[in-house]
Amino acid sequence: MEIAEAEKLAADLRRQIAYHNRKYYIEDSPEIEDYEYDGLYRKLESIEAEFPQLVTPDSPTQRVGGAALAKFSPVTHTVQMESLHDSFSEQELADFDRRVRAAAGSAEYIVEPKFDGLSVSLEYRDGVLSRGSTRGDGFVGEDITDNIRTIRTVPKKLKRPLPFIEVRGEVYMSHESFARLSEKQELEGEKPFKNPRNAAAGSLRQKDSKITASRKLDIFVFNIQQITGADINYHDEALDFLRGLGFTVSPFYKKCRTIGEAIEEVRRIGEMRGSLGYSIDGAVIKVNSFAQRTALGSTAKFPKWAEAFKYPPEEKSTVLKSIEINVGRTGVLTPTGVFSPVTLAGTTVSRATLHNEDFIKEKDIRIGDTVVLRKAGEIIPEVVSVVSHAEGSKPYKMPDVCPSCGAKVMREAGEAATRCTNAECPAQLLRHLIHFCSRDAMDIDGLGPAVLRRLTDAGFVKSPADLYSLTA
């Protein structure tokens, strides 16, 4: 590559990365998958490695990312909250081991899952929670103490009144809480979060901590940042100690004597990563001895004693057996593909959303097709592409009538969704009732979404009129 071309490409990549950083860190609403982002980042890194004169001080490769938001007061971290270097191949893990052994002689490793949420710091004085903050850019984060207090797995008081301890953990939303939140948001006409990580980040940065409390967040604590009143020398010792204080630590981790053993464990975590009930975005290999960690130190950006491994998105081909149409509570017809079951990231996948008519048309998805399914860090599988059509197949056509009530469906110009036009459509009953009872309409007290849902599920209410004939 010529330098002029490289310069143009680097500038373009920086623009793209800055845009996606903003979407990810500030707006909690990313537009691309993590591995796509990693691809852009790595491309920029390789150009800068080839042409070091092109490195600019504001290049995203020179910063840690995640600027603090203005709505919370800043917290300067006494101990930097570093991010880890990512590996994408086992070869890179072996290289990491070689560097560690060259500097430290021999090393023992701890392998643990890398939780996919929002990194926070918790400080306790005399055993009482005194402050919680986000990681921010690693140096300065946001004070979110009030919101942190609402998380049920964050102890407000430790089992032992240490003079001072600061720990680091990952706040996350379980898949169960995420599913419940998405359903609720959809019912109330809000846009659901793209994935549990964004939901966790968005929930943690609420100005109103009551909203945070309603979101059912959790935490895994994985590191001691600072401590007085105890002497701890190994990472596994630290995890046991943290558990003893009342923290929730990783449900599993393994001590490994060789990198071969560690890689074996990384593979094992990868095979079960889709079935954990919470999202992980990789595994981490850490040097166990704190004395060795101190000796190894850090580069400008990363500690030299730990290495993250990112799993590639898993893809498999399978056959599309049928397309089911479901009518949502907002009247939108959503096509779902039903596939011959395949195993992806440790879970059996036989269904994936086909989103809408445009998605199907764009990929020319037909019943009987052989398609590629993918499961990335997300919990929801997706159709990547069509490999081949079955013989004699025809382009798919959305139904003309609502499968729930038989009324005509329509698609507004400029909208991707196909909707049922019937105001009395039973599939939309609950949403109509919620609106009917809301302050904007009839202002009926005591009939919130949860109660209405129970009434419709039990079949007690089939129309708004039924609400008036209910007897207690």
Residues involved in catalysis: 114
Strands 314-327 and 332-344: antiparallel
Helices marked H in 105-195 — which ranges? 145-149, 175-187
- Under 8 Å between Cβ of 306 and 299: no
Q: Is 332 one of the binding residues for Zn ion (CB under 5 A)?
A: no
Distance, CA of 67 to CA of 143 (rounded, Å): 13
Q: Is 425 one of the binding residues for Zn ion (CB under 5 A)?
A: yes
Residue with tokens 């599939």: 427
386 or 407: CB nearest Zn ion: 407
Nearest distance in Å: CB 427, Zn ion:
6
- The angle subtended at Cα 113 by Cα 108 and Cα 116, nearest 5°, is 140
- Under 8 Å between Cβ of 201 and 214: no
Only segment of 19-27, 104-112, 118-126, 425-433 that touches Zn ion (CB under 5 A): 425-433
Q: Is 333 one of the binding residues for Zn ion (CB under 5 A)?
A: no
How far the first Cα of the chain sits from its last, in Å, is: 77
98 or 408: CB nearest Zn ion: 408
Q: Is 409 one of the binding residues for Zn ion (CB under 5 A)?
A: no
320 or 434: CB nearest Zn ion: 434
Nearest distance in Å: CB 51, Zn ion:
60
**Of 266, 349, 402, 447, which lies in the binding site for Zn ion, with binding defined by CB under 5 A?**
402
**Of 179, 272, 386, 405, which lies in the binding site for Zn ion, with binding defined by CB under 5 A?**
405
333 or 345: CB nearest Zn ion: 333
- Under 8 Å between Cβ of 106 and 100: no
Nearest distance in Å: CB 415, Zn ion:
17
For residue 400, give the nearest of 423, 416, 376, 421 by alpha carbon.
Answer: 421
Only segment of 32-40, 332-340, 403-411, 448-456 that touches Zn ion (CB under 5 A): 403-411
Distance, CA of 154 to CA of 152 (rounded, Å): 6
Q: Is 129 one of the binding residues for Zn ion (CB under 5 A)?
A: no
Q: Is 404 one of the binding residues for Zn ion (CB under 5 A)?
A: yes
Alpha carbon 368 to chain centroid, angstroms = 32
264 or 415: CB nearest Zn ion: 415
- Under 8 Å between Cβ of 380 and 352: yes
Q: Is 422 one of the binding residues for Zn ion (CB under 5 A)?
A: yes
- Summarize as ranges the residues that interact with Zn ion (CB under 5 A): 402, 404-405, 420, 422, 425
